[in-house]
Structure 1
């Protein structure tokens, strides 16, 4: 049985460019900037970037964010998921970070300021700085006019800082990272016939249903179901022995068609160590599941986004930084086959991801 597929060698990890540029330290900090991490890890990196850029511009102190889930009251501390030391040290000399507000400052006195993701210095000067100077403290809430991470033609003074914030401040705490390590190791063991290589597919049934991927015609198809993904992978050359990891947490019968063609298809419940499931899979909180998917998709040999959006965009950024550039965008392929090179993500083939401005 043919199990080898069109695997490619990884590129070398890239070198950060921003460390050559950030030299000016702030002497006198004025006021505080607070924010929360929401909607999952693909949003977290962008929210951190916005808050850091704003705090630096305003010469304000940044307060360590909390993490908020989808349901009201679903809150956890930053250190429940991420490495606090890495975050604070990564911003050392760039932005002052404190774990919490001093007792003398009340959160009720903060003005909430909504900002577009990838906020520019011009926007900060016009829309945010006057509020900060008037109120003394602000709470930043990012919104996302666009969910892609393409390079912008014009340079902004905050680009260097945004690069550092997105790619050098956020790491999982060791306990959570260990779970990802264990799952990656398990998938590599299962794929020994393919040299330990596996594919991660961002395919979540609930998201497909929300996006209406199972019916209707659209000029631009933005999501693919399990059957379409199976046909795509087979037509670009992956054999039936290929190991596939799905971001779907628990098996759904709609995925059976994918497993029929690729029997070694797994979800978290199949590859997560049994002793970790009660903490990271069987709780009512899905935040850990989202984080595990994000970091596992960043480390797989091949990444296939069945759903277009910010998860795809920010996973692509992490992969570009580490040289894992085999990102395949699904397509409906007429005929029986298609060269894999025809389906590389534009983030790779056109080098139009903002990560390409951050790394040399």
Structure 2
């Protein structure tokens, strides 16, 4: 019997099922070794089995509980369950299905995630509130986030391989002639619009005349301010431009005086189609026509994109000031940066507080009774229809100030700049006319920021003498020094400010262009209970998105202040 039991034991140990079981057990870190199982399986005494159970850390109750919590597929992978069983096979199919779904989700979401990572820096509006993407870059007083610079690039220049579509002399629709009215910047916009309508009608543009303005009282010609050769040559593949009225046209005076040679009653912000339907037939009939008035006579969102791109091309590339103006502006900007003996950033402040601006605004400002009486008399003389008897002006002035339509006083802009973080050591270049109220009105700003200078203080009288012959030349110097500044701050709207902001945006959005929220400022500055800490926080938060950051255009937008959509491309 003993021999029989021995032979049966040998056959049992040599069976394939037994060998597989032993191999599986040996390979599993969660199961006991064969020697341990042998000690438990009756080959030894009860005490030995208990000692073995106590001495094995793999057989703890907590561990067994964790093992049984694993799902069938994972237990099979860990050799806890035979993968050939029907339960394991079903679980494998479920696991594979889940993995397939996960892979499909990853494939589907990968492009969205990639596009999110590559989304350009672009603010968006909700009502009147502007929201901009957050960046990890710490805020700076002098620069916008680098992400704003890296996302967009200027693209208004004509491509080198783009064919010219300028009609020949015999194929041109006719000649158009315009008077560019107003100050330097209004004239600049008129010139850009003149090139655009010449393109729309496939007409030839006669070099615009800079009309003498009643306020500016300047008799500058186009060639006194701008580089004519560069202007004509740069646009030769876009529009045909001639310096003067053709010799075959002998009645030149008619272009200035005759109604028969003038196209009038063009609505403001007219569409391209309006010119094709109403102006082009008359030009074809008369061959040469004058268009006036020509202030804001071409819209923005009702003309083709390529026409708006052409206007940017004229503004940012074709219209160059004369070399001597450019050189003097470079000198003034360099002197601003080196005033302290070392290179420092400087701010350009466009201060709109001339007597004419204050009077035209019909806003109420701090001052003595005598000053207010003199301003009332001035308004009654200059704008009698609007002034009437003056009784309605006080509630109107309060409403305009709440709506942010009043120019900021020098003292108000000083408080805002200090709240933004600019110190008394900040170098500030002031571009302005004669400030209404003189030194007394400027005192709060000068006391808070003593390093306040104008071009007259940076340059000698001899250096500025050549530019005094034309008021627009002096305005051009202010324009270029402001354009080259590290931070630009405006105090009121106008063509000067919006052209500067637009040009700095077109250059890459890196340069800060602060546009104060005058409505919020009037509310905060008029609150006697607001402390300095609260006021500073309001100013900083409000102006975080008012520094010339990229924002999309919208219906009725101003191309000169925001050239993003038609004139810039994703970098």
TM norm structure 1: 0.86
Counterpart for residue 236 of structure 1: 420
Aligned-partner Cα distance in 2 for 1:235–1:177: 34
Q: What CA distance in whole angstroms lies between the structure 1 residues aligned with 2:498 and 2:490? A: 9
Name the structure 2 match of 1:14: 153
- In structure 2, runs of 5+ residues without a counterpart are 1-139, 256-260, 366-396, 525-529
Do structure 1's residue 78 and structure 2's residue 222 form an aligned pair? yes
Q: 2:442 aligns with which of 255, 278, 294?
A: 255
Pairing 1:33–2:147 present: no
Please give the alpha-carbon distance, in whole angstroms, between the structure 2 residues aligned to 1:119 and 1:130. Answer: 16
Deviations 1:266-309 (A, max 9, x none): 1221123432222324x5x4222222222222221111111112
Alignment correspondent of 2:551: 350
2:358 corresponds, among 208, 219, 228, to: 208
- Give 1:250 deviation, angstroms: 5.4
Give how far 1:155 is off: 4.7
Q: Give the whole-Å Cα distance in 2 for the aligned partners of 1:173 and 1:159.
A: 25
Whole-angstrom distance in 2 between the partners of 1:175 and 1:313: 25
Residue 131 of structure 1: aligned partner: 282
Q: Offset at 1:18?
A: 5.0
- 1:36 aligns to what SS in structure 2? strand
C-alpha distance 135-99 of structure 1, shift in aligned 2 (>3 A): same
Q: Bigger shift: 88-97 or 264-273?
A: 264-273
Instruction: Confirm whether residue 337 of structure 1 aligns to residue 546 of structure 2.
Output: no
CA contact (8 A) 1:49 1:118 kept: no
Question: What aligned pairs does 1:5-154 form with structure 2 within 5 A after superposition?
Answer: 6-8=141-143, 11=149, 14-20=153-159, 23-27=164-168, 28-71=171-214, 74-105=218-249, 106-110=251-255, 111-114=261-264, 115=266, 119-141=270-292, 142-144=294-296, 152=301
Q: Secondary structure at the match of 2:492?
A: coil
Contact 2:269-2:297 at 8 Å conserved across structures: no
The question of whether the paired residues in 1 share the 8 Å contact of 2:166 and 2:202 is answered with: no
Rounded to whole Å, the distance in 2 between the matches of 1:23 and 1:97 is: 14
More displaced 10-residue stretch of structure 1: 291-300 or 205-214: 205-214
- Kindly tell me: are residues 201 and 278 of structure 1, through their superposed partners in 2, closer, same or farther at Cα, counting changes over 3 Å? same
Distance of 2:487 and 2:272 partners within structure 1: 36
Deviations 1:75-122 (A, max 9, x none): 232111111121011211111111111332133344223545665321
Rate the CA distance shift 1:58–1:336 in 2: closer, same or farther, 3 A. Answer: closer
Distance 1:180-1:213 versus aligned 2 partners, 3 A rule = farther
**Length-normalised TM-score, structure 2:** 0.56
Cα gap change, 1:310 to 1:248, in 2 (>3 Å) = closer
The Cα of 1:44 is off from its aligned counterpart by 2.5
Distance 1:39 1:192 in 2: 40
CA RMSD of superposed structures (Å)? 3.0
Distance 1:87 1:245 in 2: 29
Separation in structure 2 between the aligned mates of residue 83 and residue 268 of structure 1, nearest angstrom: 23
Residues in 2 aligned to 1:279 and 1:359: alpha-carbon distance in whole angstroms: 37
Distance 1:187-1:347 versus aligned 2 partners, 3 A rule: closer
**Which sections of structure 1, spanning at least 5 residues, go unmatched?**
none
Conserved 8 A contact 2:166-2:240: no
Task: Indicate the residue corresponding to 1:160 in structure 2.
Answer: 309
Q: Which moved more, 1:107-116 or 1:44-53?
A: 107-116
Q: CA 1:270 to 1:220, structure 2 compared with 1: closer, same or farther past 3 Å?
A: same
The residue number in structure 1 matching 2:318 is: 169
Q: Is the 8 A contact 1:250 1:268 kept in 2?
A: no
Q: Secondary structure at the match of 1:139?
A: strand
Structure 1 CA distance for aligned equivalents of residues 153 and 535 of structure 2 = 36
Whether contact under 8 Å (1:250, 1:267) holds in the other structure is: no
Distance in 2 (CA, whole Å) between partners of 1:153 and 1:70 is: 29
| Higher relative contact order (CA closer than 8 Å, sequence separation 6+) | 1
The correspondence of residues 310-329 of structure 1 with structure 2, limited to 5 A, is 310-323=495-508, 324-329=510-515
Deviation at 1:241, TM superposition (A): 0.5
* Distance (Å, rounded) in 1 between the aligned partners of 2:541 and 2:245: 51
Deviation at 1:261, TM superposition (A): 0.3
- Residues 311-333 of structure 1: CA deviation (Å, up to 9, x unaligned): 22221111112135411112315
Looking at structure 2, the residues matched to 48 and 22 of structure 1 have their Cα atoms a distance apart, in angstroms, of 24
**Matched residue SS, 2:153:** coil
Deviation beyond 6 Å, 4+ runs, structure 1: none
1:303 aligned counterpart, secondary structure: strand
Asked if structure 1 preserves the Cα contact closer than 8 Å seen for 2:505 and 2:550, the reply is no
> 2:404 maps to what in 1?
221
Counterpart-to-counterpart distance in 1, 2:549 and 2:184? 22
Larger radius of gyration: 2
Instruction: Give the Cα separation in 2 of the matches to 1:208 and 1:192.
Output: 38
